[in-house]
Amino acid sequence: YPPVVDSFAGQSVPELARRFGTPLYVYDAAVIAQRIADLSAFDVVRFAQKANSNLAVLDLVRRHGVVVDAVSAGEIQRALAAGFQAGGVDLPPGAHPEIVYTADIFDRETLEMVVELGIPVNCGSPDMIDQYGEQLARASRAVPGPGASSPPGITLRINPGFGHGHSQKTNTGGQQSKHGIWHEDLAHCVERAARHNLAISALHMHIGSGADLEHLSKVCVAMEQACLTVGPSIHSISAGGGLPTPYRDGEQRVDLTGYFELWNGVRNRLAQTFGHDVSLEIEPGRYLVAECGALIAEIRAVKQMGDNRFYLLDAGFNNLARPILYGAYHPMAIAYNDASEPGRPRPTLSDPARMDSVIVGGPLCESGDIFTQEDGGFVRSRELPAASVGDYLVIGAAGAYGAVMGSNYNSKPLAAEVLVENGQAHLVRQRQTFADIIRGESIPKT
Ligand code: LLP
């Protein structure tokens, strides 16, 4: 990220801001397509849509041959609305369904939905196996139909006993974590599934989000062990998500070739042992969509507080929660609004006189509403070009876990979202209105 930008995804930032308003999320379709292409060695790329489930993004990844996971009834409905097909429990072993439900619980609505739509499930808790088996039995008693003879395959998500993430809050392995079936419980879960006539056709491990490759690589060893415990009913393995993405200047992209080779080795050895093909899935969220996105906000106040200089934006942690939740770092740049001060000189990093050391915050009535903070809430300043009210601040690498984690705190509307594809900026989510915010609320009549 250069300190000053004029455009994002080939579109003028001030024009985007004028046309769609701020705060505004903008996604560059070409970047998503490139990240998908990076992973082409894997048999199946299953997008963890929780990272960015805008319908237009889901449709885009679908057009590039990617399938999805869903962690809720809402995400299943999003996938359907974006054109993914339901069904798949009756596909032959090793075939990959377009939607898989992956979670540690079934709420009652979702349990009914997956059985009714035939959406395959990835169970992260032993209780899910019984609940799913019982629901299937209830449904087939209600509608006796074909396929009742072949046991449906399920995936088990295994917690291998260790995990790693960019923050303790995104580490999903080990005994501190609520995720997955404890690795020592696997043999017992195989029996549990058999009691419901369910075959374990796939295993899945996801040890955390934003892990490093060293930790991710250890998963291969654990996966191979676990698959051998289950045996040849396994036709597919999933490496989960967690691939890191560069947020800071100079951060290296992960060695995907080396990573694929490790997994490919596991897959090949298992295929040889089992005497049939084993398909290899990966389940990235962040990797596909983080870099494609920026949050564009307008600077609405510039103020000096003792030694500290603040830029206050019209976007806050209601729009991008990663800094307040994890102390996450996002690159930032200024886009000058020439309409407010035409012909201003453009500062560069090599021109320190024109740089300011600033703390960047939002509009919310809470002192933690700061974009430049570290884990633990320690406020940090950032070197940014001198800017004034009316200029724009572009927060980069915000396409993953940005808009999806937005809230209506302080009765602020969810931001608008724009997808830029083939040089065209499309509004893919309208900014919420006040009517949207209070929809469903009422004052009791007395
Ligand atoms: N698969 C499963 C089962 C997951 O739970 C997750 C993420 C993924 C895949 C995708 O992980 P990724 O490839 O994106 O690292 N809000 C946090 C991240 C939470 C991740 C939750 N699960 C953040 O903003 O960093």
Residue 344 binned pLDDT confidence (cut-offs 50, 70, 90): confident
Residues in the chain: 446
- Give the number of other Cβ atoms within 10 Å of residue 113's Cβ: 19
Q: At 256, which helix (H) or strand (E)?
A: helix 256-274
Pairing of strands 424-429, 44-48: unpaired
Q: Which residues in 116-266 belong to E strands, given as ranges?
A: 121-123, 153-159, 181-182, 199-204, 236-238
Indicate if the pLDDT at residue 147 is higher than 60: no
Nearest to 34, CA basis, from 294, 296, 287, 295: 287
Q: What is the pLDDT of residues 99-109, one digit of tens each?
A: 999 999 999 99
Average pLDDT score over the chain? 93
Q: What is the pLDDT of residue 91?
A: 81
pLDDT above 90 for 95? no
Q: Rounded to 5 degrees, what angle do the CA atoms 68, 397, 399 make?
A: 35
Q: Would you say 198 and 151 are in contact if contact means Cβ atoms under 8 Å apart?
A: yes
> Structure tokens of 424?
């065209």
Cα(243) to ligand 1 centroid in Å equals 9
pLDDT of residue 90: 80
Pocket test for ligand 1, best of 286, 329, 330 (most atoms within 8 A of CB): 286
Is 393 in contact with 334 (CB distance < 8 Å)? yes
Residue-wise pLDDT for 236-265, tens only, equals: 999 999 999 999 998 988 899 999 999 999
Residue bearing the CA closest to ligand 1, atom 16: 401
Q: How many CA atoms lie within 13 A of 74 on its CB side?
A: 5
Top-confidence residue, 344 or 64: 64
Q: What is the DSSP letter of 275?
A: T
Residue 167 predicted with pLDDT over 90: no
Helix (H) or strand (E) holding 250: none
Which residues are known to be catalytic? 365
What is the band of 210 on the pLDDT scale with cuts at 50, 70, 90? confident
Find the residues whose C-beta lies inside 6 A of ligand 1.
Answer: 48, 50-51, 102, 170, 172, 206, 209-210, 240-243, 283-287, 322, 326, 400-401
Closest CA to 310 of 378, 384, 247: 384
Return the beta strands (E) in 183-235 as ranges.
199-204
Q: Please give the C-alpha separations between residue 336 and each of 132, 346, 354, 396, in angstroms, as whole numbers.
A: 55, 8, 13, 16
- Condensed to tens digits (0 to 9), the pLDDT of residues 409-439 reads 999 999 999 999 999 999 999 999 999 999 9
Summarize pLDDT for 32-47 with one digit per residue, the tens: 999 999 999 999 999 9
* Model confidence at 342: pLDDT above 80: no
Residue with CA nearest ligand 1 atom 9:
241
Q: How confident is the model at residue 151 (pLDDT cuts 50, 70, 90)?
A: confident
Question: What is the pLDDT at residue 72?
Answer: 98
User: In 132-178, which ranges are E strands?
Assistant: 153-159
Strands annotated E in 284-402: 293-305, 308-313, 332-335, 355-361, 373-374, 378-379, 382-385, 392-395
Q: First and final CA of the chain: distance in angstroms?
A: 57
pLDDT at 140: 84
Residue 148 has pLDDT above 60, yes or no: no
Mean pLDDT over 277-303 rounds to: 98
The whole-number pLDDT of residue 351 equals: 66
Q: Give the CA angle between residues 205, 101, 259 to the nearest 5°.
A: 30
